[in-house]
Chains A and B, each alone.
Chain A
């Protein structure tokens, strides 16, 4: 593993660990946002290594397009997360049907 890659992973782990601590004191909606953002950051690192699949990249695109809805009304963020999970399931079902 290159030093740059290790640094990126270290920073991501730092983000997750610090989030775990800070979320004890932060607004409840920050929790799902941090999980979502962690997923996006992980996929970004995988992309740089050439290890991200098209479906992961598509998922990241959806996350990035809507993750800041957390700053608006909770109902909109909740709907965004539902759509995201449904899109994930669509991909899973599509894969199964393609077998």
Chain B
């Protein structure tokens, strides 16, 4: 798939078919995720992959943003102890979520190239999800990504205009 098509063709999908997602496909998605850049090459992320609809469904009780019934889900997490050790305060307050988001974007595009639908979810209770996933104390879920075969083709929302400026440094700067 052409990169440009992947970027423009990806949609947030919230309705999925019953068809399960093969483990090999999920492994490819996570491989794409770990090839994302990370601040200071920290790679402090952790990925927890749920591969059954029932398992995903259990998370819904504490994840209001998890809509539809996806057959698989990837929790993009950060090991905050390692984040602090490698990145200090900048790592904890800024790089951890940014790195998670860049990894998630890679995952979304790879999923789209596989023909899969995805949706990024930030609306969930971090503590609740961490407990249900049995995460280690220092590992915190940053984003959830639902994964499945789309049962809908959402229209692309229009892009907001006037958000880009091509410019130069001020002329009075010496």
**Cβ-defined contact, A18 with B63, below 8 A:** yes
**What is the distance, in angstroms, from A20's C-beta to the closest C-beta of chain B?**
9
> Chain A interface: which of B96-104, B123-131, B141-149?
B123-131
Which residue of the partner chain, among B12, B57, B62, contacts A18 with CB atoms under 8 Å?
B62
Which residue of the partner chain, among A10, A13, A15, A68, contacts B64 with CB atoms under 8 Å?
A15
B14 adjacent to chain A (CB < 8 Å): yes
Number of interface residues, chain A, beta carbon within 8 A: 16
**Cβ-defined contact, B123 with A71, below 8 A:** no
**What is the distance, in angstroms, from B93's C-beta to the closest C-beta of chain A?**
16
A22 adjacent to chain B (CB < 8 Å): yes
**What is the distance, in angstroms, from B148's C-beta to the closest C-beta of chain A?**
17
**Cβ-defined contact, A14 with B123, below 8 A:** no
Indicate with 1 or 0, residue by residue over A23-37, a CB within 8 angstroms of chain B CB atoms.
Answer: 000100010001001
Which residue of the partner chain, among A22, A30, A68, contacts B125 with CB atoms under 8 Å?
A22
Q: B residues within 8 A CB of A30?
A: 64, 123
A21 adjacent to chain B (CB < 8 Å): yes
A37 to B124, CA, bound (A): 15
**What is the distance, in angstroms, from A3's C-beta to the closest C-beta of chain B?**
13
Interface of A is mostly: helix
Number of interface residues, chain B, beta carbon within 8 A: 15
A72 to B154, CA, bound (A): 12
**Cβ-defined contact, A14 with B61, below 8 A:** yes
Q: B residues within 8 A CB of A74?
A: none
Whether A11 contacts B61 in the complex (CB less than 8 A), given A18-B125, A21-B125, A22-B123, comes out as yes
**Cβ-defined contact, A11 with B60, below 8 A:** yes
A38 to B101, CA, bound (A): 28
Closest to A19 in B: B64
Indicate with 1 or 0, residue by residue over B44-79, a CB within 8 angstroms of chain A CB atoms.
Answer: 000000000000010011111001000000000000
9 residue pairs from A and B, CB less than 8 Å apart: A11-B57, A14-B60, A14-B62, A18-B63, A26-B123, A30-B123, A34-B64, A68-B154, A71-B12
Contacts A68-B154, A72-B157 known; list 4 others, CB within 8 Å: A11-B60, A14-B60, A14-B61, A18-B124
Interface residues of B (CB under 8 A from A): 12, 14, 57, 60-64, 67, 123-125, 128, 154, 157
